[in-house]
Amino acid sequence: MPLYLHFWTFLVFSLTKAVLCSAKCPDTTKMIIAEGSDVTMPINKDSVKEVIWVFKHRYIAKTWANRISEISDPAYKGRMDIKPGLSIMIKNVTEEDEGLYTANVLRENTEDYEQLCYELKVYEKLSAKDLQIHHRITDSKNCHLNLSCTVNIADVTVSWNSIGRGDTNVANITFLGNSPDTDSSYTCIAANPASSVSRTIIPRLVCAEGRSFHIKGYIVQVTWAHMLGPFSYLWRIYTHGIGSASC
């Protein structure tokens, strides 16, 4: 290989290493996003002619002011859009997209790259099916019950909210039916930094429903007893009569 080609190979390798292994950014923008959403990483600079995007020490895209931009990482093809100002937007974000993104920005009339960093944190998007409210009646007559709230996703905080009570950052509360707020509703809220979901329960209705089930069960039991009573009496007469005839 001619000597000048060795020189250019060394120069390109040195530039690549400098971009990929450069020092930590002086300023990092924290970005929090829910899984499945879109996120834009803006380049708020003037006179930008080139941006080299790096994620986990590998090139993912190069954007130019006067040329067609290049998305080099297959993982982002079809999921990345180039925005005005050479910013990028990643669509349908997943947990695998979480991490540090570095934008190496080259401006007009300079040969030095500036660095902009974006720390992306991806959280699972919460839905109603992830949150469950459980209750246990401890005193059906006075409507005393324990309420608990569970979530099947990690990194989630749970709190209860009720009119007149405010937020209570616990997963379990006790409701006393003889308290002044017997008709109030209780809302369980599950949240992470990117999304939240809630469910509401009215304890008085839960107690009323429990008593209704108890009464219905009693009525059914009594009804069957009254229905079977005459048949039992007739059956005894019938069997007794047969027994007497056989003698």
Q: Where are the domains of the chain?
A: 3-123, 128-207
56-103 residue pLDDT tens: 989 999 998 878 889 999 999 899 998 888 899 999 999 999 999 999
CA-to-CA separations, 93 to 39, 88, 124, 197, in angstroms, rounded: 7, 13, 10, 20
User: What's the rounded mean pLDDT across residues 137-166?
Assistant: 81
93-129 residue pLDDT tens: 999 999 999 999 999 888 889 999 999 999 999 998 8
4-51 residue pLDDT tens: 333 333 333 344 444 554 446 778 999 999 999 999 999 988 889 999
Q: Quick check: do 3-123 and 128-207 share a fold?
A: yes
User: What's the rounded mean pLDDT across residues 141-148?
Assistant: 83
Q: What is the CATH number of domain 128-207?
A: 2.60.40.10
Strand-by-strand arrangement of the 186-192 sheet = 166-168, 157-162, 186-192, 195-201
Q: What is the CATH number of domain 3-123?
A: 2.60.40.10
Confidence class for position 192, pLDDT limits 50, 70, 90: very high
pTM assigned to the model: 0.66
